[in-house]
A and B are shown apart, each in its own frame.
Chain A
Amino acid sequence: MIEVRGLVKSFGSKVALEGVDLDVAEGEFLTLVGPNGAGKTTLIRILATLTRPTGGSVRVAGYDLAGQGAEIRRRIGLASHQTLLYGDLSAEENLRFYGRMYEVPELEERITALLQRVGLEHRRHDLVRTLSRGMQQRLSLARALLHDPAILLLDEPYTGLDQQAVEVLREVLVALAPPKLGGMKGGAKSRTVLMTTHNLERGLELCDRAAILVNGRLVHQADKSDLDVVSFTQAYRRHLHVSRFTFDVGVGR
């Protein structure tokens, strides 16, 4: 579903991604972890066609990023730590606007169903700026799912949420996850999910594969069957330590 080959992205002299190769199969839930500045958000932004890569090739849902951006955008939903919602429009008006932009059929029914799914039906007429951060994040997820995308990109969805909001969001994500991971039957059976997070525990709980991105490179990948939280955490710390050591030596020179 997602094929990334030799992906490079640089901002001037700063290299954010350095030859990333990544495959995500249809229906797979991949969690990508890494420290701040590892390149996770840059990778998500490139897959979402928001940032142009410097080199390499990317195919999403069989479409090439270089010339078929609109086709890719039709098939992806993005939820990031920014809500992408208009504070001065109500929850319902926000979803209606995005629904019109995505040409969602039977939009009103879809809006009602999604607001119920994320538990915001009772706040549908409230302005988004009056909702709590957790509610806004749930509404942001509803916006990302509005056009029923085959691919869901989640960029640090837990950022800035309190414990209760994290739990509520987790329940929504569990419902989205493939049935083998506890998700609802039918709704998400073929949805591909790529999530970036700092939160190892949350990230590993839902995924069926996890990868570590450090300094713009994919340094470790593990399937759910071979993966336990302790060994993956150790691997993560080891790679972080190596990257810090390399950085320190580089600076020292």
Chain B
Amino acid sequence: MSFLRKVLAIVQKDVAVELRTREMLSSMFVFSLLVIVIFSFAFELRVENVREVAPGVLWVTFVFAGMLGLSRSFVLEKDKGCLEGLLLCPVDRSAIYFGKMLGNVIFMTIVEAIILPIFSILFNIFLFQPVLLLIVVLGTLGFAGVGTLFSAMAVHTRSREVMLPILLFPVVVPAMIAAVKATGGILDGQPFSEIAHWVRLLAVFDVVFLAISFMTFDYVVEE
């Protein structure tokens, strides 16, 4: 219970800071909106069946918006040495990882919840299907799970805005392929059994990388 209370304290702290500054949410939202509007206009001119490109556009939007949020996640902690303040707390350091990761999941989910209806309108596709929402949740969890670990690594480097995508993208490729394939299957009207293997791959990715991050976070943040 003590572990969970401390995870919750970190999440609440991140949410309180974000509600006050709105720096992360506003940049993620504006970026996402720009991406889908530009893609919408671009495809309107040439692509006849937007359903074929919609899953890719949707996940490109989520991933790049998520990257903006992740790159800021530990910058906030680096300022004034707050990361050291967290590391000084008498808690298993994986609690810091889970607190930061859950905060990132919450921020990404808020942006996704706003972007999905706009995406539905611009691309004229109905996205509010339970399986599709499950895929979005699993994809977001996997991306934020690995991203939080790499964000903690990259924050110590001088060119962290470049380092984070370079480190993160190769690792999240399997999850993104699975998410795009599963989303495409749903939009094509395939039954769940046809896309179940992609959903399972997403779930396994989440479990494996959350476990790896849990075990390695201590070594990533300590000098």
Contacts and interface: CB of A to CB of B under 8 A. Distances in A.
Interface string B1-16: 0100110011011001
Interface stretch (A96-104, A198-206, A238-246): A96-104
Interface residues of A, number: 29
A102 B13 contact: no
Given A86-B13, A88-B17, A89-B17, A80 B81 contact: yes
Interface string A71-97: 101101010101111111100010001
B88 A48 contact: yes
B194 interface: no
Contacts, number: 75
Given A45-B223, A50-B223, A51-B222, A98 B82 contact: no
A215 B82 CA distance: 28
Interface stretch (B27-35, B40-48, B89-97, B144-152): B89-97
A84 B81 contact: yes
A52 interface: yes
B90 A70 contact: yes
A102 B80 CA distance: 20
Nearest to A129: B80
B52 interface: no
Contact of A100 (B6, B20, B92): B6
Contacts of B189: none
Given A50-B223, A143-B85, A83 B80 contact: yes
B79 interface: yes
Interface in A58-72: 70-71
A52 B16 CA distance: 32
Contacts of A51: 222-223
B218 to A, nearest CB: 9
Interface in B116-131: none
B21 interface: yes
B82 A78 contact: no
Contacts of A143: 85
Contacts of A93: 16
Nearest to B92: A70
Contacts of A102: 89-90
A45 B20 CA distance: 32
A97 B76 CA distance: 15
A73 B90 contact: yes
B114 interface: no
Contacts of A87: 79-80
B113 interface: no
Contacts of A89: 13, 16-17, 20
A66 B65 CA distance: 40
A98 B12 CA distance: 12
B136 to A, nearest CB: 29
A194 to B, nearest CB: 15
A188 to B, nearest CB: 20
Which has the most chain B C-beta neighbours within 10 Å: A52, A89, A97?
Answer: A97
A76 B20 CA distance: 31
Interface string A110-147: 00000000000000000000000000000000010000
Nearest to A147: B90
Contact of A78 (B9, B13, B88, B90): B88
B222 to A, nearest CB: 6
B87 interface: yes
Given A71-B90, A98-B89, A52 B222 contact: yes
A102 B91 CA distance: 8
A80 B83 CA distance: 13
A221 B92 CA distance: 36
Shortest beta-carbon contacts, A-B, top 4: A82-B81, A84-B85, A74-B90, A101-B89
9 contacts: A50-B222, A73-B88, A80-B81, A82-B80, A82-B81, A83-B81, A87-B79, A89-B20, A98-B89
